[in-house]
């Protein structure tokens, strides 16, 4: 005969087993729900991880600033510009560097004109968002084509320059502005010579937000130096001191696909003009074949253009 004490112990164990079974069932249900979330769940998980990376990156930047300040004090030096004038000073430096190294507005306009057709073919009744609009070359091209567009830039000198031209532009952080936009509210989002200025966590967040903000059928255009070209990746990419990281065309295509863009393609643009390019009929010698092979790495397009569409049916 089972004693009362043993009976109570059995009842307690039975209750524990029942709770354990319920807990396991709850975990299995949550796991199933997580699996069913699919791509949406992955984006949320990535967003959480990127926030943590941002916090770490912010702490690292703060530590770097402290170390730089300490070194400057030890050397008896200080920042040559401080106070309210600092931001304008550095914006002026960047503006001057871009004018000299990237090319005149006329040159940039001629290079970007081809992108207008891609957007014109998008049958969506919504504005275009030009992130990092700079001096406004592409904004002006869109306006001339009768396409509604707004530019966003953090450089106050560029923003003022655009406003003088009568262009609609907002001075804001690019990601913060994009994050504030409603779902499915843009015909196109453009980042022309912008992505290489972003840290990798910020690039991921920006691509993810772009997918959310684009209307179905909308297009993301991202132009960046083509680092698959050895002359660009090994030299000219580093002319701009604000470039953070090179972005290979294959990486851009993979990132866009990860966030759900379809179809996705990357085009190479603007091959260098040189007098010494060998044609395919240069000869059958081993030397000529080697030179022709090398040319494909040196004389390919100097820029890469990501063209990624949000599917019309999600």
183 C-beta neighbours (distance < 10 Å), count: 9
* Least confident range of 15-19, 44-48, 106-110, 185-189: 44-48
212 C-beta neighbours (distance < 10 Å), count: 18
- With 0-12 CB in 10 A as exposed, 13-18 as middle and 19+ as buried, what is 32? exposed
Which token pair is 172?
């804001």
Nearest Cα to 135, choosing from 96, 186, 88? Answer: 96
User: Is residue 175 a contact partner of residue 209, using CB atoms and an 8 Å limit?
Assistant: yes
For domain 103-309, give its CATH number from 3.40.1710.10, 3.30.200.20, 3.40.50.150, 3.40.50.2300: 3.40.50.150
Question: 0.85 cut: is pTM over it?
Answer: no
Instruction: Tell me what the mean pLDDT of segment 13-28 comes to.
Output: 78
pLDDT at 297 over 80: no
Q: What number of H helices and E strands is found in the chain?
A: 11, 7
pLDDT at 310 over 90: yes
Higher pLDDT, 110 or 298: 110
| SS3 at position 19 | helix
Give per-residue pLDDT as tens, 107-162.
899 899 999 999 999 999 999 999 999 999 999 999 999 999 999 999 898 999 99
How far, in Å, CA of 234 to CA of 250, rounded?
A: 18
pLDDT value of position 236: 82
Instruction: Tell me what the mean pLDDT of segment 9-38 comes to.
Output: 75
Domain ranges of the chain: 4-74, 103-309
Q: How far are the Cα atoms of 66, 84, 242 from residue 72, in angstroms, in the given order?
A: 10, 20, 22
pLDDT at 193 over 90: yes
pLDDT value of position 271: 81
Instruction: Tell me what the mean pLDDT of segment 183-200 comes to.
Output: 96
pLDDT value of position 177: 97
Nearest Cα to 197, choosing from 49, 293, 272, 94? Answer: 94
pLDDT at 292 over 70: no
Given the DSSP bridges, would you call strands 128-131 and 264-269 parallel, antiparallel or unpaired? Answer: unpaired
Cα-to-chain-centroid distance, residue 303: 15
pLDDT value of position 82: 46
Which token pair is 53?
């990376």
Nearest Cα to 163, choosing from 127, 145, 139? Answer: 139
User: Is residue 148 a contact partner of residue 175, using CB atoms and an 8 Å limit?
Assistant: no
% the chain with pLDDT above 90: 47
How far, in Å, CA of 307 to CA of 222, rounded?
A: 7
Q: How far are the Cα atoms of 37, 204, 211, 253, 313 from residue 260, in angstroms, in the given order?
A: 14, 13, 8, 11, 11
Give per-residue pLDDT as tens, 60-105.
667 656 655 544 554 444 444 444 445 666 666 766 676 676 778 8
pLDDT value of position 38: 66
């Amino acid at each position: 005969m089972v004693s009362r004490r043993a009976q109570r112990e059995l009842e307690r164990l039975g209750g524990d087993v029942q709770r354990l079974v319920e807990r396991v069932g709850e975990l299995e249900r949550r796991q199933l729900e997580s699996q069913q979330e699919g791509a949406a769940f992955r984006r949320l998980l990535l967003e959480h991880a990127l926030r943590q990376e941002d916090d770490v990156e912010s702490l690292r930047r703060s530590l770097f600033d402290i170390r730089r300040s300490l070194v400057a004090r030890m050397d008896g030096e200080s920042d040559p510009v401080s106070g309210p004038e600092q931001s304008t000073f550095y914006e002026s430096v960047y503006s001057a560097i871009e004018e000299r190294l990237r090319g005149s507005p006329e040159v940039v306009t001629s290079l970007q004109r081809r992108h207008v057709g891609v957007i014109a073919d998008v049958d969506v009744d919504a504005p275009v968002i030009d992130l990092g609009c700079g001096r406004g070359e592409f904004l002006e091209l869109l306006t001339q084509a009768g396409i509604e567009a707004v530019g966003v830039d953090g450089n106050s000198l560029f923003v003022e320059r655009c406003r003088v031209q009568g262009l609609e532009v907002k001075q804001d952080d690019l990601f913060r502005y994009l994050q504030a936009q409603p779902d499915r509210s843009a015909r196109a989002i453009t980042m022309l010579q912008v992505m290489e200025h972003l840290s990798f966590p910020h690039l991921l967040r920006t691509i993810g937000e772009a997918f959310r903000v684009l209307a179905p059928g909308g297009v993301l255009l991202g132009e960046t130096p083509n680092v698959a070209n050895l002359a660009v990746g090994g030299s000219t990419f580093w002319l701009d001191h604000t470039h953070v990281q090179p972005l290979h065309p294959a990486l851009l295509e993979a990132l866009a696909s990860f966030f759900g863009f379809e179809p996705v393609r990357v085009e190479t643009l603007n091959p260098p003009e040189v007098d010494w390019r060998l044609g395919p009929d240069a000869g059958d010698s081993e030397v000529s074949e080697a030179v022709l092979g090398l040319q494909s790495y040196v004389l390919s397009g100097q820029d890469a253009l990501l063209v990624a569409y949000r599917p019309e049916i999600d």
